Amino acid sequence: MTKREKLWQKAKNSPENLTFDEFETLLTQNGWEFSRQKGSHRLWYSPNGQPLPIQPRKDGKAKLYQIQQFFEYQEVEEE
């Protein structure tokens, strides 16, 4: 299993343990592009132009609802 596959499985199986840096790596690996940052808010765009604003939790982890949004957008992208 590659690092990319391991990260995907971690995000799917235990998203509450995904760090913000790992989440950004996951976005990059799936073709998402970083657009801009204002304060802690970062704006990413999917390959089809779908925006996804994200921000880290205070403990450095990714927010669960943002990871879920990412997977929803990925399903739409793959259709």
Bin 44: left if φ > 0, else alpha if -120 < ψ < 50, else beta. beta
pTM for this prediction: 0.93
Q: What is the pLDDT of residues 26-70, one digit of tens each?
A: 999 999 999 999 999 999 999 999 999 999 999 999 999 999 999
Residue pair 9/58 in contact by the 8 Å Cβ criterion: no
Q: At what angle do helices 64-78 and 20-29 cross, to 10 degrees?
A: 10
What are the structural domains, with CATH classification, of the chain?
18-78 (3.30.920)
Instruction: Provide the pLDDT for residue 46.
Output: 96
